[in-house]
Amino acid sequence: MEKNVATTLNIPGNGSQALHERRMKAVPQGPYHVTPIYVKEARGALVTDVDGNTLIDFAGGIGIQNVGHCHPKVLKAVHEQVDQSIHTCFHVFPYESYIALAEKLNEKTPGNFAKKTMFVNSGAEAVENAIKIARAATGRKAVLSFSRAYHGRTLMTMSLTSKVKPYKFGFGPFAPETYKIPYPYYYHAPEGVTPEEMDAQLLNQIEEMFLGEVTAEDVAAIIMEPVQGEGGFIVPSANFVKGIREICDKYGILLIADEIQTGYARTGKLFAMEHYGVAPDLMTTSKSIAAGLPLSSVTGRAELMDAPAAGQLGGTFAGSPVACAAGLAVLDIIEEENLCLRAQEIGEKMIARFKEMQNKYELIGDVRGLGAMVAMEMVTDRKTKTPATAAVAEIVKDTWKNGLVSLSAGLNSNVLRFLPPLVVTDEQLEKGLDILEASIARVQQNA
C-alpha cells in the first residue's frame, strides 16, 4: 500500500472525533496520546486514519517501528506462527523461536564474552529484570541512574526515572536504594566549560557521591541510556561512557545499558553502545525488537544471567512465540535492508535540514542526534537557552494537523524529537521535513 499524503487534511475528522468522544467516556485520561487521530491502518512510514487521512509518521510509535509498520516479512512470520500456536507459556511448553532469538541477541550485542538472554513483555519489565539479576549476581542493593533518565512506569523503573511530572507525580513512595548521578548535557554546560571538562567534573561527582551518599561496595549497578530518549536525545561523549565503564570496573559495579529506545539500528549501529566501544554487563532492549508486538529482552554475561535460580525470572506471556517470530524477522530485515546504513543517511539528511532551519528560525537553539535519533531543542532566547515549551506543543499540534506526526521530549518538553521508521522513503522524508518547517515558521512568526 503506497498512499499519497493528502494536501488538504481534515484532522481530526468526524470518525476520529466520534471515537475520541467515546474514548473520553470509557478510558481514563492517564493513558495519554499525542494526537486525537484514530488509526485505521499503517504501512512503512505512513499511517492512515479512520477518516482516510494519511500522515507521515516521524514518531514510529515512539521508536517501535524501525523496520516500518507492518513489514511484509513480519506479517508473514506472525501469520505463520499464529497458524501453529499462539501461546503455550514458555514456563510450560518452551519453543524454538525463543531460543533462536536469544542466540541471535547473544551473538549481535556488544561484548566478546559468553552471554544469555531472557525475554519479557515491555521495556519497564526488562529493566525490572535487569535490576533483579544485578542484585542477585552482586549481592548488593543500590542502583544508580542518571538525571533526565527514563526507564518506565513500574515502581522500580519510576524510581530510576528522572522526570517528576507526569511520570512520578503523586505515585511515591519510590523504591529505596536508588540514587541519581549526572549525565553530560553539553548544550547546557556553563560558559567556557568544554565537553572534556564537563565529563571530568561529572565523573568526579560520582566518585564523591560514593563518599557522601552511598558507598560503592553497596552499588549493584549503574543503568544508562546510551543516548537519553525521553530526556531529550542527549548524546554523551565516548569518553564519558568509557569513564562510567571504568568506575564500574573499579568498584565491581555492573553496567546496564538500557537500549530500549536506541537499539535495533536507530542510531546507525545495531546497538548504540557500539559507538562508544563499550560493552555493558547487561543490556535491555524492547520497542523495535518485534515491530510492535509486546516483547523485551535482557541480555548479559552468562554467569550474571544465571545468578537467579530456576523459577525466579519470567512471566506468563513473556517471550511469546508470536513476538519471537516477529523478533527474528526484524533482525533479518535490518541486515537485508541495510537499515544501520539507512539510519545514518536519514540522520545526516535530517541534521543538514535542521541546521538550515536553525539559520532561519531563532527558536531552534540546538540540533543534535546520533544516526536517525535526531532532535532540535527549542528556546525562547538563544543566549539564556530558556525552554520554548509552549512553542514545541504548538509545533507538534500544527504538524499533525498538516499530515506529520512528531513528538516532544526533555525535562521541559521543549525538544522536538524524531524517530521515523528507517524504511521511510526520501520523498516521504522530504515531505515530512517540509511540513515540519512550515509549522516551525508559523509558530516562530506568532512567537
Ligand X SMILES: Cc1ncc(COP(=O)(O)O)c(C=O)c1O
258 binds ligand X (CB under 6 A): yes
286 binds ligand X (CB under 6 A): yes
328 neighbors 258 (Cβ within 8 angstroms) = no
124 binds ligand X (CB under 6 A): yes
256 binds ligand X (CB under 6 A): no
Question: What would the grid cell of residue 225 be?
Answer: 541510556
User: Residue 111 or 231: which CB sits closer to ligand X?
Assistant: 231
122 binds ligand X (CB under 6 A): yes
Applying CB under 6 A, among 123, 226, 280, 420 the residue interacting with ligand X is 123
Q: What residues numbered 16-35 form the site for ligand X, per CB under 6 A? A: none
151 binds ligand X (CB under 6 A): yes
For the beta sheet containing 296-301, the strands, ordered from the edge strand earlier in sequence to the opposite edge, are: 115-120, 296-301, 282-285, 254-258, 219-224, 142-146, 178-181
Cα separations in angstroms, 334 against 1, 17, 44, 291, 339: 21, 37, 14, 11, 5
**Count of residues that bind ligand X according to CB under 6 A:** 15
Applying CB under 6 A, among 152, 184, 236, 321 the residue interacting with ligand X is 152
Q: What residues numbered 327-346 form the site for ligand X, per CB under 6 A? A: none
Q: What residues numbered 180-209 form the site for ligand X, per CB under 6 A? A: none
Q: Which residues contact 47 (CB under 8 A, 6 or more apart)?
A: 37, 39, 41, 54, 55, 57, 69, 405
DSSP string, 192-246: T--HHHHHHHHHHHHHHHHHHT--GGGEEEEEE-SSBTTTT-B---HHHHHHHHH
Cα separations in angstroms, 433 against 57, 58, 305: 11, 10, 44
Q: What residues numbered 48-67 form the site for ligand X, per CB under 6 A? A: 62
User: Residue 127 or 203: which CB sits closer to ligand X?
Assistant: 127
Give the x-and-dash track for 210-239 against ligand X (CB under 6 A): ---------------x---xx---------
44 binds ligand X (CB under 6 A): no
269 binds ligand X (CB under 6 A): no
What are the φ and ψ backbone dihedral angles of 271, each rounded to 5 degrees? Answer: -130, 140
User: Residue 231 or 321: which CB sits closer to ligand X?
Assistant: 231
399 binds ligand X (CB under 6 A): no
Applying CB under 6 A, among 261, 267, 413, 414 the residue interacting with ligand X is 261
Q: How far is the CB of 414 from ligand X (least distance, A)?
A: 18
Residues counted in the chain: 447
Question: What would the grid cell of residue 264 be?
Answer: 535495533
Alpha-carbon 151 to chain mean position? 9
254 has which bridge partners?
Answer: 221
DSSP state of 388: -
282 binds ligand X (CB under 6 A): no
User: Residue 140 or 266: which CB sits closer to ligand X?
Assistant: 266
Binding site for ligand X (CB under 6 A): 62, 122-124, 127, 150-152, 225, 229-230, 258, 260-261, 286
